[in-house]
Structure formats: C-alpha cells, structure tokens
Amino acid sequence: MNSIINKKVLFQDLGTKDYQPSWDYQEELLTNNLDIKIHNRENPDEQKPTENYLLFVEHPHVYTLGKSGHEENLLANEAKLKEIDATYVKVNRGGDITYHGFGQIVGYPILDLENFYTDIHRYMRDLEEVIIRTIAEYGLKGERSSGETGVWLDVGKPYARKICAMGVKASRWVTIHGFALNVNTDMRYFEYIIPCGITDKQVTSLKRELESEVDMEEVKNKIKKHFADVFGCELIA
C-alpha cells in the first residue's frame, strides 16, 4: 500500500478529442503513476504521492473493441465506416465493442486505487453507482444487470436497455478507461454494432428516455458531484 494516501482528484474536461490521442494521454498519466510507485518501492525514505485524475471527453464517431471482444460484433465494413464518418480502434480495456460519439459523456478516471481500496469489483460497482445516482436526478431508475457491466433500465424485462457502457483496465492498481453515458447521442450509430456483444438488449440515452435534449454541462456537474460523494474524494479543477 501507499505510505502517502492522496484522495484529491484532478478534474480535466478535454472537450472534443479524437480517441487515439485521448488513449495516449491516459497511458501517459498511467505511466507517470507507475514511475512514482517504482520510485517509492526503491526509495522508502523518499515517498511521493501518486496522482488521481477524472477526465471528461467527447469523441468524434468511433467504435472501440476491447481485448476480449469479437470483431464480428462490428457490423459495418470499411466503406460503411467511411460513409458514416466513423473510425474503428482496438483497445486494451476489458469488454467487447462499443460506440463513442457526439452527445455522449465519456469519463476516464485514472485513479490509484491504493489511495482508496484495492478491489476492482468494488471499483466497477462504484462507477455504476455514480451513474445510477446521476440519472436518478432525471427521474430514471438505473440498475445493474447480473454479469453485464454498465447501467441499465428495466432490467429483467423484454425492453431492458443500457444507458451507460463501462470498460476498465488496471495496472498495479492504477485504472484507465472508464464509462460512456449516452446523453444526446445519435442512437443510429448503434445500429452498426452488437453493443458489448449483447444481442437481446437495446441501448438508450437520456434524450430518448426524456424525449428532449439534455444540457450536457448540467449532466457533467451532476456526475462530478456524485463521483466525489461515492469515492469520498475532493475534485480539483
């Protein structure tokens, strides 16, 4: 465990940013923390705190496939991807295929879980809890679906649907990747994949459920508030 516990989380809104440079930035922050951990292990009398981050970003249209995913869950060929102005990237997170695009809030917590707790299962449930609390403010009952990460509506019913996808990776307890909450997302883009490899459930968005556009900044502020509460941390701009 860390000898110096740091529960401050630096918040950064990256705005609109392509997927690859956002991934590279996460890897850079991860590497910085791993370097600090190596330093602390080799220099017990010169301990440094690791850093925690919460990044928000909106990606241009992109389909990403996790390392355990199946390429056949991408239903669009190269020509169709070009037609709909989307790209396709294989990534080193868990989970299958998902879509990121405009009107979607993507959150990347780069946390050293040794500052909080060393339990990936609990971390995933806490991320889900953040989103469950956020959408509750819009009158929606978010739920967990057994064996399927993310946040769902009407679990156990024929019209169950996912509103927030999640996929994470951790190295020496430092997390990367995160969640994607559909707010004002163009849901037509999900027609070109089998989301998360799940064939018998649909996807949805806040806009679709509420039947009106939702203020993105308002949703971001609610996520930040609940993130701080659930993780017992202080967000710093």
The strand ranges marked E within 35-114 are 52-58, 62-65, 87-90, 97-100, 104-110
H or E element at residue 134: helix 120-136
Residue reference for tokens 């707790």: 117
Angle at alpha carbon of residue 126, lines to 226 and 177, rounded to 5° = 95
Write the DSSP symbol of residue 73: G
From 165, 196, 219, 223, active-site residue: 196
164 in active site: no
Interatomic CA distance for residues 20 and 26, integer angstroms:
10
Interatomic CA distance for residues 72 and 55, integer angstroms:
30
Does residue 81 contact residue 31 with C-beta atoms inside 8 Å?
Answer: no
Residue-by-residue DSSP string for 172-200: TTEEEEEEEEESS--GGGGGGB-GGG-SS
**Which residue, 197, 182, 195, 191, is CA-closest to 83?**
191
The residues assigned a catalytic role are 196
